[in-house]
Amino acid sequence: MRVTKHQRQYRIARLLEAGPVTNQAQLVELLAAEGIEATQTTVSRDLEELGALKVRLPGGESAYALAELPTRQIVPSEHLRRVLGEWVVEMAASANLVVLRTPPGCAHVVASALDRSAMPGLLGTVAGDDTVLLVVAEDEGGTTMVDRLRSLVGSDRSVGLGAQEVHPDGTGTPRTSSPGQRRQ
């Protein structure tokens, strides 16, 4: 199967994380087992672009490894607290979803911090210009996630964070209010 360069490099990164890959020929075979066509030359280029390095494993064998990229590093809770406190102006929950409002152009900052937070129950985020959608595990629920985010920010900063629970019929019940709060 033909895939884009980015898709192939994504799979290479996952293969390197899954277990030791000792040479490029092995990597070509692993990709082929997943139905991805690649030559040794292409894999060599991909490894270089990904910044893969040969590292020595216990026992003396060497294998390819990727340096931990900043996007995969866990965000310290203090950083997340600061980002949420500075950029989130409104929170709303509905079933297993949470909507966060930010000033225009700031949603990606909040989404990135949340994605890298390793927060339990958070499955992922989608960011627009001024809105972040959080998908929360069903057993966790959106309301619980809003409560967790508000407690993380702390009571002194959460005063300005308007939050409401949106019911399936579309009506919202304000959980807090603040002057100038956006309503859905």
Identity of the residue numbered 101: R
Q: Is 100 part of a structural domain of the chain? A: yes
pLDDT one-digit tens code per residue, 73-86: 666 788 889 889 98
The reported pLDDT for the residue numbered 76 is 74
Whether pTM > 0.75 for this model: the answer is no
Contacts of residue 89, Cβ cutoff 8 Å, sequence gap at least 6: 101, 102, 103, 160, 161, 162, 182
Domain contains 154: yes
**CA distance readout (Å), 153 to 67, 88, 167:** 31, 10, 25
pLDDT of residue 105: 83
Mark which of 13, 47, 67 sits at the end of a domain: 67
Buried b (16+ CB within 10 A) or exposed e, 114-127: bbbbebebbeebeb
119-147 pLDDT, tens digit per residue, is 999 999 999 989 999 999 999 999 999 99
Per-range mean pLDDT, top range of 2-16, 32-46, 74-88 = 32-46
Q: Which domain holds residue 100?
A: 77-174
**pLDDT over 60 (residue 175):** no
pLDDT for the residue numbered 144:
96
Q: Are residues 83 and 162 in the same domain?
A: yes
